[in-house]
Amino acid sequence: MSFFITGTDTGVGKTLVSCALLHALAAQDKRVVGFKPVAAGCDDDDHNDDAKQLRAAGNVLASYGQVNPYCFAHPLAPHLAARNSGVRIEFSRILTSYHELASQSDEVIVEGAGGFLVPLNEKLNSADLVRELGLPVILVVGMRLGCLNHALLTMRVIADYELECAGWVANVLDAEMPALQQNIDALRERITAPLLGVIPYQIRPDAKAAAGYLDLDLLGASTSASSVSEMTGQDD
């Protein structure tokens, strides 16, 4: 089983959790590889740091181009970064790279760009890509002020697209966040997908250390996100 990692926003720890999952799965003797379909913001060698971390965390030999088929220089929304580069993001190219990686591995950890509805071209967004890939979603919730609304809105969209949420991860971004445990409890009451782990605040994020906070056994207890109306207590 492979997974698509999305987040409540940009900068909430998708790469940290993706790499932690890769380390944890590799420790179970799985052949695993990371995949960053679209990245915006490159270094001097025209590579993206998140994609490089994913490539390093896996144990399947893959070229950078396989791991990150679309990489754009400027850190902008993907469709804008692509437009500035004179490129259109095509799902067919992403799917080809994904299937190449899947044929070489037991599990592929796919990290999205930005939030779940970020546009990828003039018509399609990240959620459309997940539907094309046919993957269950793992939601990374950046634990900071505003996370409850962001998390529940994202869960609502996952349900609207009739996708499966395999679980969620609470990644603590604010070491001094008021009522941290109460916020986690509020989400557990409203999200029926399992909480896979709580990653404590890290001054220097360490994916190998973060892997120790994830319970992969809970991935077998994933639930359909179509029950999100029950999670939020709202009627359709």
User: Is 140 a domain residue?
Assistant: no
What percentage of residues in the chain have a pLDDT greater than 90? 88
What would the two tokens of residue 62 be? 């893959």
User: Is 236 a domain residue?
Assistant: no
pLDDT at 227: 37
Structure pTM? 0.92
User: Is 141 a domain residue?
Assistant: no
Chain segment 18-45, per-residue pLDDT in tens? 999 999 999 999 999 999 999 999 886 7
- The mean pLDDT value of the chain amounts to 92
**For the chain, what is the domain count?**
1
User: Is 87 a domain residue?
Assistant: yes
Q: What is the dihedral of CA 176, 181, 184, 188, to 10 degrees?
A: 180
* CATH code: domain of residue 194: 3.40.50.300
Greater model confidence, 43 or 170: 170
Flag whether pLDDT at 235 surpasses 80. Answer: no
Flag whether pLDDT at 223 surpasses 60. Answer: no
User: Is 138 a domain residue?
Assistant: no
Q: Of 30, 36, 52, 208, which one is the catalytic site residue?
A: 36
User: Is 124 a domain residue?
Assistant: yes
User: Is 196 a domain residue?
Assistant: yes
Chain segment 74-104, per-residue pLDDT in tens? 899 999 999 999 999 999 999 999 999 999 9
User: Is 78 a domain residue?
Assistant: yes
36 is catalytic: yes
Domain span at residue 219?
3-132+146-229
Pairwise CA distance, residues 167 & 216, whole Å: 10
Greater model confidence, 57 or 222: 57
Burial-class residue 28 by CB neighbours within 10 Å (0-12, 13-18, 19+): exposed
Q: What is the 3-state secondary structure (H, E, C) of the chain?
A: CCEEEEECCCCCCHHHHHHHHHHHHHCCCCCEEEECCEEECCCCCCCCHHHHHHHHHCCCCCCHHHHCCEEECCCCCHHHHHHHCCCCCCHHHHHHHHHHHHHHCCEEEEEEEEECCCECCCCCEHHHHHHHHCCCEEEEEEECCCHHHHHHHHHHHHHHCCCEEEEEEEEECCCCCCCHHHHHHHHHHHCCCCEEEEECCCCCCCHHHHHCCCCHHHHHHCEEHHHHHHHHCCCC
